[in-house]
Amino acid sequence: MSASPPAAAIAIGTRGSPLALAQARLVAALLEQSWPEVAVSMRIVETRGDRTQATGEPLPEIGGKGLFTAELEAALAAHEIDVAVHSLKDLPTADSPGLVVGAVCARDDVRDCLVSRDGAVLAELASGATIGTSSLRRAAQLRALRPDLVVEPVRGNVGTRVRKVRDRVVDAVVVAAAGVRRLGFEGEVSEWLGLDVMLPAPGQGALAVQCRAEDDAVLAALAPLDDAATRAATSAERTFLAALAAGCSAPVAAWARQDRARELVLTGLVASPDGQRVVRVEGRGADPEELGARLAGEALVAGAAEILGATGG
């Protein structure tokens, strides 16, 4: 890039897990490619979610997704870092005061995948087999697909969850394909789950780079990293989630993509935790926020309101 760098230095804040570090390095490489003269550094920030990994406490019971973002946001607000890198699916839908998402990077694989003993695919798992996940969204869809399986809460980073399969703690786990790819664990995958089998979390596979709303220099530096198609798709998904007013206690999935005419197509799902009630909606539109809000309204009318009311979402 021929323009002068808008900022002399950028400090990236990240969690310290292997996946978080890999994602922060991806963003650092993109910044260095766009602005070779900018000094890019990284600082590890421990979050409450990290501190509770070893206890195995289910995320919805101790605060949900914000557990992995609050400390990073506090470091941003305190000017201790210039940007924070998040998995977009972990970031609450409402911007924190004074903070914005300065870039949504080009999306990786949106799917989930199965890691199982002996390479068995989902349809081959024996009745009564244990399958681990910390996600209520995944658990609900698994129970809808295979009510004969035993779904158990399993936390920890990708490597930890894969080891739980090897160590026979569980028979299989479901994890995000993007994380598996970013860490080079593709060889562990027994099945890449199709989007007709399991819909992803809103924002899954995308990285969000958060910064201070008034930091014009950093916003300018992040501009080349922002992928318009990914931002539009994830905006529709996150608007769907926000318009449902669904908390982390409700399994909600959403996947948006552009068709050949570059119009957005959004598929959304709301399920009861036991998987016995599933509401699925699909529609298309040009405006991401309008599309997400419209489909949320359709889902509520179709039964999502009753599901969310029963789950406290």
Catalytic residue IDs: 90
Q: Show the DSSP H helices in the chain as ranges.
A: 18-34, 48-51, 59-62, 70-77, 136-145, 158-166, 177-183, 216-222, 228-243, 288-299, 305-311
Amino acid at 124: E
Strand order of the sheet with strand 39-44? Answer: 39-44, 9-14, 83-87, 207-212, 99-104
Exposed, middle or buried: residue 214 (CB in 10 Å: 0-12, 13-18, 19+)?
exposed
Measured torsion, CA atoms of residues 225, 229, 233, 234, in degrees rounded to the nearest 10: 0
User: Alpha carbon of 169 to those of 19, 149, 152, 160: distances in Å?
Assistant: 22, 15, 10, 11
**Residue 98: both structure tokens together:** 């004074």
Helix (H, G, I), strand (E, B) or coil at 48: helix
Say if residues 114 and 123 touch (Cβ distance below 8 Å). no
Say if residues 138 and 271 touch (Cβ distance below 8 Å). no
